[in-house]
Amino acid sequence: MIDVWHDCDPGHDDAIALMYCLSEPKINLVGISTVHGNQESYKTFKNALRVLYITGNISKLEKIKVISGANKPLKRKSQICEEIHGDSGLGGVDWSDVDKKISSLGINLDEGKQQNIENVVEGIHNAYKNSKNGKLTILVTGCHTNIAAYAQKYPEDIKSGNINIVAMGGSIDTFGNTGPWAEFNIQIDPEAFNIVLNAFQTEDKRSLVTLIPVDVTHTVLSTPEVIQKLDTNNKFENLIIKLLYFFKETYQNVFNFSSPPVHDPVAAYYIVHPEDFEVKHEQAVVETEGKYTSGTICINRYPKVGNWCNKNEFKEVDICRKVNVNKFWDDVIEHLHILAKQSPL
């Protein structure tokens, strides 16, 4: 099994990525941390607990710690994505009944208001130290504020070469989805991603970071044909349909997408099915100073041409370029069917 720590900002697509991790036999989910992004961190914390409840996994809280992390970027003003994800971060569903049931179990949904990035840092460190096979994959489906703090405090963990990052983020050969060239997860805290990109390198300059950019995730759309594979008569699957229809409407209003891309589950899928991806080894740097380009990931496309840049600033990174979309959806839908059978809804 693969030990995975999921750092996320649920978010509709984060929620499905988390569901995938919870139902994938090859993944041992050892921790969940939430971060600012799609909504404020205390709301994304609530949403992580909601996902655990509706998937029948709330009893695993003793094993799978859920920790509320950073609620603002390292240096910048905080941004949220309410226009896409709604006020709760998981718009399209009335969560009041679910929240009552969670509270009746003695779980404090408002605990996330006490953000403590240090708890996230220690949680990841302990997860690595306690890993049965001495390895840990950090799945990042939000910005990198929490992970940057971990990298700065425990560089010796990373030097082992046994911790790798799989992250949804960036735009490489296409337009951004918030800035002209930048993707949201990178754009809202590019300084944090810069720390992570620089830290997660082995001594022999091997990359420990794999990025799944919007170039790939924009090909993975929740089309009507996909949604029709879910059962409207099953309460759990009907809830997923409601989430996807809300996501569809906001994506259409904001980005003019006829069907919304589900970015984050693609990164979760990569962890267990890397063979279904085309991956290129690249040299990259993240722009942190541009007025309109901050958060852009710049590739050293012509390493043999001139002295146009300081090549030492570019770091090794593996970037996904293509995914088998049909196999992805077949697998994700099957995972949702499995969860539907154990859901308490």
| pLDDT tens digits, one per residue of 60-111 | 998 998 999 999 999 999 999 899 999 999 999 999 999 999 999 999 998 8
**Average model confidence (pLDDT) across the chain:** 94
Q: Is 301 exposed, middle or buried (0-12, 13-18, 19+ CB in 10 A)?
A: exposed
Cβ-based burial of 302 (10 A; exposed 0-12, middle 13-18, buried ≥19): exposed
For residue range 235-253, what is the model confidence (pLDDT) as tens digits?
999 999 999 999 999 989 9
* Share of residues in the chain with pLDDT > 90 (%): 84
Other beta carbons less than 10 A from residue 343's beta carbon: 18
Q: Output the CA torsion 69→74→77→78 (10° steps).
A: -20
At residue 204's C-alpha, the angle toward residues 198 and 207, to 5°, is: 45
Rg (CA), the chain: 19
Q: What is the mean pLDDT of residues 196-225?
A: 93
Query: Which pLDDT band, with edges at 50, 70 and 90, does 230 fall under?
Result: very high
Give pTM, 2 decimals.
0.96
**Residue 279 · residue 295 · CB < 8 Å:** no
Between the CA of residue 304 and those of 49, 77, 172, 194, 206, what are the distances in Å? 50, 38, 20, 24, 20
CA distance 294 to 181: 8
Q: What is the pLDDT of residue 205?
A: 75
Name the β-bridge partners of 165: 138, 209
* pLDDT above 70 coverage of the chain, percent: 97
Quote the CA–CA distance of 210 and 281 in Å, as a whole number: 9
Mean pLDDT (whole number) for 334-338 = 98
Contact 286, 296 (CB under 8 A): yes
Please give the pLDDT value at position 132.
Answer: 87
Query: For residue 222, with 0-12 CB atoms within 10 Å meaning exposed, 13-18 middle and 19 or more buried, which class applies?
Result: buried
Determine the average pLDDT of the residues in 286-291.
Answer: 92
Sketch out the chain's domains with CATH numbers. 2-342 (3.90.245.10)
Mean pLDDT across 259-286: 96
Q: How far apart (Å, rounded) are the C-alpha atoms in residues 328 and 66?
A: 27
Overall average pLDDT of the 122-126 stretch: 97
Task: Give the confidence band of 307 by pLDDT, cuts at 50, 70, 90.
Answer: low
Q: Answer for the pair 85, 38: CB distance below 8 angstroms, yes or no.
A: yes
pLDDT at 18: 98
136 contacts 163 by C-beta, under 8 angstroms: yes
DSSP states along 248-310? HHHHHHHH--SS-B-HHHHHHHHHH-GGGEEEEEEEEEE--S-TTTTTPEEE---TTSTTSS-
Residues 190 and 178 sit within 8 Å (Cβ to Cβ): no
Q: How confident is the model at residue 112 (pLDDT cuts 50, 70, 90)?
A: confident
Assigned token pair, 246: 């809300």
Res 58: pLDDT: 95
pLDDT tens by residue, 40-51 = 999 999 999 999
Tell me which of 103-107, 200-204, 222-226 is least confident. 200-204
pLDDT at 176 over 90: no
